[in-house]
Chains A and B, each alone.
Chain A
Amino acid sequence: MNPVTPQDVSPHDVSPHDLRYARWMQRGALLGFVLLLLSYALYLGGVLKPAVDLQRLPQLWTLPVADYLRASGSQDGWYWLSQLHQGDYLNVLGIAVLASVTPLCYLAVLPGLWRAGEHALAWIAVAELLVLLCAAAGVLGT
């Protein structure tokens, strides 16, 4: 295979996949930041009562996470999703949205990559989505 130098590659500007990814990234990040700030205001403002009282937190945050969960009566996994009426758990929603931006961006560019014949990159995207799905589902992490 003949080596290719940068001078040989055909110049191209930003690919449509990169632009699509950027659009989704921007929208998702904005949504995540807004949710994070709003829910934090509701949490600290006392509008929504937290599951773990704020005054009790200084005694709990020194503990390893397993002990913290036991002492605070919290649970791991997706338990937070059923507790969104509580200020602290609602805050987790904004964090989860930020952590969902990347898989959404990959999903957004996947069909375009496939249609453009970029099958190798499309399969890499599928593999990445599987890794993220396993991490999010707790298959790998719990």
Chain B
Amino acid sequence: MLCAVALVLMTLGLFNLAAAAEVVALTDALGSAAEDWWLWPLALFAIALVIGVVSVMGGIGGGTLFVPVVGALFPFHLDFVRGAGLILALAGALAAGPQLLRDGLASLRLAMPLALFGSVFSVLGAMVGLSLPASVVQIALGLLVCAIALLMLRSSVAAEQGGVQADAIAQALGIRGRYVDPADGSAVRWTVHRTMGGVPVFALIGFMGGLFGIGAGWANMPALNLLMGAPLKLAAGTSGLLLSVVNTSATWVYLNRGAVLPLLVVPTVLGVMLGAMLGGRLLRRVSARTVRYTVIVLLLAAGLRSLIKGLAA
């Protein structure tokens, strides 16, 4: 119970801290706080830490929360926030990927064909995102984040799939495997179906990832699990692997365009990663229901604020 209260307070604190940061931004815009530049990486680190805790407990990628929250509440232009969000999602996926692959909980064979389409559309999304006015992207981001929150509110826990019949593409590419579930030690054999159906879905996810600079774990996992029939744990692991490939292409576009501010990247990556480690420990003590609703409220608040900021501009 105490942990649940702490989590809610932490979430509210995140908004308070960011709101305070916005006040500082106003002061800064008036020209009196140029020497206080160091407050920004510090505030960003604090926000990123809380986002890391909340996002890992809510089972969504840090980027999904980072871009709408920081984009709506901090003075940084959305171009740089999206650049930092992409690198944050990339860094998280790269850090987790090796172990998931070794444990058989992520499959290169499953990720490669889907990632190819995701990458192409991620580049297109990044190009479109960097050429649109920030207000348009902000409004679209607000709508998307609210939609994700509502989706989370409506959806039940994803089904543990199994026993699906491999389609022709999965057979041709040998997309199948076996892993040992660390929870109960059972061996799980898997394959996938509806691979062709997955192609446009992952292309769309890639496009949105590049456009908004958010990680796509929230969409990858249900697409792999519910659409293609991959078992839940394999879907979660492969989602991260897919993210690392798809985000790489968009990251290069942002790097080439100069939309990466080094001052923002390190506190972001460091904060979210430390927060994720902390969140992993807290996860055992807080009920899934509390975490779920905290994340939904946070996403809705960030989405609405993003929407308002975009409309006001």
Contact = CB atoms under 8 A, between A and B. Distances in A.
B82 to A, nearest CB: 10
B119 interface: yes
Contacts of A3: 165-166
Interface in B252-291: 252-266, 269-270
Interface string B25-57: 000110001110110110000000000000000
A95 B248 CA distance: 11
A124 B260 contact: no
A128 B173 contact: no
B261 A61 contact: yes
* Interface SS of B by simple majority: helix
Interface string A46-84: 000000001111110111110011000011111010000
Interface string B287-312: 00000000000000000000000000
A62 to B, nearest CB: 5
22 contacts: A4-B171, A9-B177, A11-B189, A14-B102, A17-B109, A21-B101, A23-B98, A25-B98, A29-B98, A32-B91, A61-B76, A68-B80, A74-B258, A92-B260, A99-B252, A99-B255, A124-B116, A128-B119, A131-B116, A131-B119, A136-B256, A141-B130
Contacts of B252: 99, 132, 135-136, 141
Contacts of B177: 9, 12, 15
Contacts of A9: 166, 176-178, 189, 191
A128 B115 contact: yes
A61 B80 contact: yes
B269 A25 contact: no
Chain B: number of interface residues, binned into ranges: 35 or more
B211 to A, nearest CB: 13
Contact of B244 (A13, A92, A102): A102
Contacts of A68: 77, 79-80, 258
B212 interface: no
A61 B90 contact: no
B189 A95 contact: no
A124 B113 contact: yes
Contacts of B166: 3-5, 9
Interface of B: 28-29, 33-35, 37-38, 40-41, 75-77, 79-80, 87, 90-91, 94-95, 97-99, 101-104, 106-109, 112-113, 115-116, 119-120, 123, 126-127, 130, 134, 162-166, 168, 171-174, 176-178, 187, 189-191, 244-245, 248-266, 269-270
Interface in A1-47: 1, 3-7, 9, 11-15, 17-19, 21-23, 25-26, 28-29, 32-33, 36-37, 39-40, 43-44
Nearest to A79: B258
B101 A131 contact: no
A101 B247 CA distance: 11
A135 B108 CA distance: 21
The listed residue with most A CB atoms (<10 A of its CB), out of B165, B173, B177, B249, is B249
A138 B113 CA distance: 23
B44 to A, nearest CB: 11
Contacts of B270: 37
Contacts of A1: 168, 171
A65 B80 contact: yes
B266 to A, nearest CB: 4
Contacts of A28: 94
The listed residue with most A CB atoms (<10 A of its CB), out of B41, B107, B115, B252, is B252
A29 B94 contact: yes
B77 A128 contact: no
B261 A55 contact: no
Contacts of B75: 58, 61-62
